[in-house]
Amino acid sequence: MQQEELSLMCACSHPRIVQLYAAFHDTSVPRLYLVMPRFERNLGHAIAQAPGGLEEWVIWWVLGQLLAALRYLHSPQTRKNPLPNRIIHRDIKPANILVRDEWSVALTDFGVSRTLFGDSCASTRIGTVQYMAPEQIDGREYTERVDIWALGTTLFEMTSGKRLFPLPVEDVRRAQNEGVSVLLLILKCSEKLRGLLESMLQLEADKRISTEQLCCDPLVGPLVALADQPCEKQTVSAIHATIASAILGSNCCASERFFSFELNGDADPYGRTPLMLQVITREEPHGLWGDSPWIRMVTPLGVTALMLATLYRNEEAVRGLLPYEAGMRDNAGCTALVYAIHANFVEAVELLVPQEVLLYDNLANTPLMKAASLGNGDIVCRLAQVPGLVGSHNAKHWTALMLAAGHNFVACVPPLLEEAGLHDKMDETALMKAVRAGAVDAVDLLIPVEKGCSRGDGKTALMIAAELGNSIIVKKLCSIEGRRAMRDGRTALMFAAKKNHVSVISELYEEAGMRDSMGRTALAYARENGSEEAIQQLKGFPGEE
């Protein structure tokens, strides 16, 4: 690592940029040690665990956070530190975006970043080609808009689960010239997100949207502002409320996905009736709520006044509208109870439970699953007491416990332990979901109730941890699930050897010498995959030669 990168990382002070606390050399090795915050995984790992793409609310929230970081780097006037010039990162990609709980992310790896003075441009071809803008690959002069291109390719990967250009280096530029519009058309996402991606992935830099323009977008802007707030304010509920308010609020721009409809004479440009506006502004109704001529009317998304009352935490309106609109669902099948859960509006949840708690959305998610996926521990405790909810599966056959474990929402795990041992469509348990997410705290809670569980093919949580290279979780599981084999004979040590996870291999010493159904040992797996460090380590294990 160069001194320039160290200086830059030390000087940058922003919650969405990984802070370098200290750096020191061990001259006896020699080796450079960096003291930085701890992150469980990077965005690349998260995408790999969601082959069909991440949920759209996650994509919007990650975009808001990264734009907050880029605005800091690209706009010197936004900083309160002695960095007067524009900074281009030049290597934005999933591997350089670190992820913590509740999808809190931070940008790292400034090894190829470049400082620009005044209106100057850069021209060095450096970075990861699959994420490079056309002008970078061509060796032409470029500005900070190359970071916008790279961010766009990253968002595409988050949305689809696949790289935009999964090609050899020499073919990437040709594929860029063929255009990305057709590729964007096949994305399963809102038209709003599709349009934003198209503006970020313009081949001509001058036509590409800028950081400031993105930050001024009616949906993105509030998320950027939230990303600049203290961490304790960035709850999943706050994120959902920010997105929903932007979509339904007066500052939202109309997109085909969110607002394609025929206006009637009573609705505003966003489909909200006068009754809905009364709810939002907390205006007193004229007479009873049920006397309104707009009762039970919905927006183009199917949103009711009662749903808005929960979203805007208007308890009086919730009580007034409950007898008339309870049980109605929006286009996604969500009820007002689900909206109350998103807003973490506990009082409204209590009011709505008797009438809506057994209503599922279009993907068979129960209100309990929604609360578990958002980390609302108090609401999970309340809903777990409702007969018939605990033990339910959604369309993917996930349970509420799996959703909580996969997000490391530890407050939600204890009330749901009755679901321990259940399997999803992939035949995996909640413990396995926690292992895949690197959710160490959830793993600790689930080991006592799910240790020893395996898939139909014999794969265990330990094997998954070994395959992912998570030495912390391997340590916790190796004494419990060690020396077990899949039906084809593969062991946790073989998975670690194949992936060259040296720190994991040392924890699985007891599995040395075990053979799969083809007679291969872990050393054979390491040799087949050219895992040199693993080969050297395994040569010293008994039974591996």
- Average pLDDT over the chain reads 84
- Residue 268 has what pLDDT? 66
Quickly state the pLDDT bin for 449 (edges 50, 70, 90): very high
As a whole number, mean pLDDT of residues 495-524 equals: 94
| Domain that includes residue 207, residue range | 3-224
Residue 121 lies in a domain: yes
Quickly state the pLDDT bin for 504 (edges 50, 70, 90): very high
Residue 194 lies in a domain: yes
- Domain of 95, CATH number, reads 1.10.510.10
Question: In the beta sheet, which residues pair with residue 33?
Answer: 24
Residue 512 lies in a domain: no
pLDDT in tens, 452-476: 999 999 999 999 999 999 999 999 9
Residue 105 lies in a domain: yes
Report whether pLDDT(259) > 80: no
Quickly state the pLDDT bin for 176 (edges 50, 70, 90): confident
150 vs 230, which has greater pLDDT?
Answer: 150
Hey, what amino acid is at 107? L
As a whole number, mean pLDDT of residues 302-320 equals: 92
Distance between CA atoms of 489 and 495, rounded to whole angstroms? 11
Highest mean pLDDT among 131-135, 281-285, 486-490: 486-490
Q: Reply yes or no: is the peptide bond before residue 30 cis, omega within 30 of 0.
A: yes
Residue 11 lies in a domain: yes
Question: In the beta sheet, which residues pair with residue 142?
Answer: 122
Hey, what amino acid is at 242? T
As a whole number, mean pLDDT of residues 404-412 equals: 91
Distance between CA atoms of 247 and 219, rounded to whole angstroms? 7
- Residue 242 has what pLDDT? 76
Residue 280 lies in a domain: no
Domain count, the chain: 1
Residues in the chain: 545
**CB-CB neighbours of 93 under 10 Å:** 22
Distance between CA atoms of 401 and 412, rounded to whole angstroms? 8
Structure tokens at 430: 């909640």
- Residue 291 has what pLDDT? 87
Residue 98 lies in a domain: yes
Distance between CA atoms of 211 and 73, rounded to whole angstroms? 10
- Residue 256 has what pLDDT? 32
152 vs 188, which has greater pLDDT?
Answer: 152
pLDDT in tens, 422-439: 999 999 999 999 999 889
Residue 366 lies in a domain: no
pLDDT in tens, 5-44: 566 666 677 788 887 777 777 777 777 777 778 787 899 9
Report whether pLDDT(231) > 50: yes
DSSP character at residue 112: T
Listed range (122-136, 187-201, 287-301) with the worst mean pLDDT: 122-136
- What are the C-alpha distances in Å from 420 to residues 243, 410, 459? 33, 14, 17
Report whether pLDDT(401) > 80: yes
